[in-house]
Amino acid sequence: MLDSLTFLLERLFLLAHIKLFSLLPPQLARSCDREDPLPQPPAAAAASAAAAPHRFQRGDLLEVPRTLFTHFGIYLGDNRVAHLIPDILPVLSSDSRQIQQMVTNSRLLLGVLSKRASIRVDSVEDFAYGAGILLNAMDRAVPHSPLPGEEVARRAERLVGGVSYSLLWNNCEHFVTYCRYGAAQSLQTDQFCEWLKSLIRDQRCVVLTGLLGLLSMACLGVSAGTALPSALIPFTLWMAS
């Protein structure tokens, strides 16, 4: 059962990533392209990570591509990055040494399902996880001006600890935009909501859901469990379109 949920969640992440990226304007798409940074060999990645702290300033916003999403963090200085990441382990264990170990994909996915996360401090190497780092790329996309670097870093440090998690309403992007710009925002969430709104407004969805409803009644028989959704869902989409 857990493997099935993990597989389904991975597919949803991938679908959302593809849909959101296709909706971005060309300029923003180029600045946030998840495929631009090529995987680096371990030696090159280590050398890049070792050199990174020398070009980062306290309060900088760091952005790295992961397999199915983009991750964000705030540079605190001394090779340290504060970032919000879903994690189930703090709910299951109080062993601080074990919790401080790098978050695996299983821990991350279970954290998403349980809606638990931590704002934690890791090294630049662990935060980047071998990927290239974009520096303050969001400054070009957010209408607010960045706060002074020291204020950004202090905001991040004050928030370190366990937090609730929401894929749409409280993710790593909300954390860094609150710290750097003074207002929590997620461009990925905004784009997803716009895509969902356009999907609801598309009257072809009304026809499709109506046909699916008729098909379900033909296959499963007419009952309250099939007839009510078959009528209610198309009607709701029609009224919202």
pLDDT in tens, the chain (241 residues): 444 444 444 444 444 443 433 333 444 333 333 333 334 444 444 434 444 456 899 999 999 987 667 899 999 999 999 999 999 988 888 888 888 888 887 888 898 889 999 999 999 999 998 889 999 999 988 888 999 999 999 999 999 999 999 888 899 999 999 999 999 888 777 777 777 777 767 777 767 777 777 787 778 777 777 777 777 777 776 666 5
Mark whether 172 is an active-site residue.
yes
**Is residue 182 helix, strand or coil?**
coil
- Number of other CB atoms surrounding residue 166 within 10 Å: 15
Alpha carbon distances (Å) from 221 to 207, 213, 230, 233: 20, 11, 12, 18
pTM for the model stands at 0.64
Strands (E), 19-113: 61-65, 70-77, 80-86
Distance CA 165, CA 14 (A): 19
Residue 196 has what pLDDT? 72
Quick one: which H or E segment has residue 228? helix 224-240
Residue 68 has what pLDDT? 67
Residue 176 has what pLDDT? 95
Distance CA 60, CA 75 (A): 5
Please identify which residue in the block is written with the tokens 């709910």. 91
Domain ranges of the chain: 60-186, 202-240
Among 32, 172, 205, 219, which one carries the catalytic annotation?
172
Q: Are the C-beta atoms of 83 and 126 separated by less than 8 Å?
A: no
Residue 42 has what pLDDT? 44
Distance CA 140, CA 15 (A): 26
Distance CA 71, CA 81 (A): 12
Half-sphere exposure of 232 (CA within 13 A, CB side): 6
Residue 187 has what pLDDT? 77
Considering the domain 60-186, what is its CATH architecture? Answer: Alpha-Beta Complex (3.90)
Distance CA 173, CA 140 (A): 15
